[in-house]
Amino acid sequence: MKDGLLVNALNEQMNFEFYSAHVYLAMAAYCSGESLDGFANFFLVQAEEERFHAMKIYKFLNDRDHRATLAALPQPKNEYTSMLDAFEHAFAHEQQNTKKFYHLADLALDEREHATIYFLKWFIDEQVEEEALFSNIIAKLKRIETDSNAFYMLDAEFAGRSFTPPAE
């Protein structure tokens, strides 16, 4: 892989993954402020996953003799009107991320950069899982609406969520 468009795009994606972690940390802080520790834990785990993704790209760039370049992170949204609002924003963020990975895959295909194509497949598969996760949670939140018992059961369920990096 030669320096150029693809390397720049990988660096941009790495920084977007760090920004994604920042977004989810802000969502966790919102949840904590609402005394919803399970939901806060959900987003803390999500932030950890995003940092893992960023570091995976960082390592790939270094392994391919390219320099990972860090950029400033934009301020994330910090206020939401409800838990549904937070999850809808998270889902839209994941959809944006999917589009970014598709663009990266297109660049890798154009450059016939097979190692990068193979590397990006993992992320594209991950995005399918991420979008499904958020879509399902949104459906649950809409279904329970004002049922506070169901809402707190979901909060308790998320309290047990953890992140284990996948085996390579």
- CATH number of the domain that residue 63 is part of: 1.20.1260.10
Angle at 100 between CA 98 and CA 102, to 5 degrees: 70
Q: What is the pLDDT of residue 134?
A: 97
Q: Residue count of the chain, please give it.
A: 168
Determine the longest span between alpha carbons in the chain, in angstroms: 56
**Residue 65: is its pLDDT beyond 80?**
yes
pTM for the model: 0.91
Q: Is 94 annotated as a binding residue?
A: yes
Q: What is the pLDDT of residue 62?
A: 96
Contact indicator for 25, 44 with CB cutoff of 8 Å: yes
The pLDDT tens digits for 109-163 are: 999 999 999 999 999 999 999 999 999 999 999 988 777 888 788 878 888 888 8
**Residue 1: is its pLDDT beyond 70?**
no
Q: Is 53 annotated as a binding residue?
A: yes
Q: Is 17 annotated as a binding residue?
A: yes
Q: CA 141, CA 22: separation in Å to the nearest integer?
A: 23
- The domain containing residue 68 runs over which residues? 5-159
Residue type, 163: F
Q: Is 50 annotated as a binding residue?
A: yes
Alpha-carbon torsion (96, 138, 163, 71), positive or negative: positive
- Asked if residue 164 belongs to a domain, the reply is no
The count of structural domains within the chain is: 1
Helix (H) or strand (E) holding 53: helix 37-63
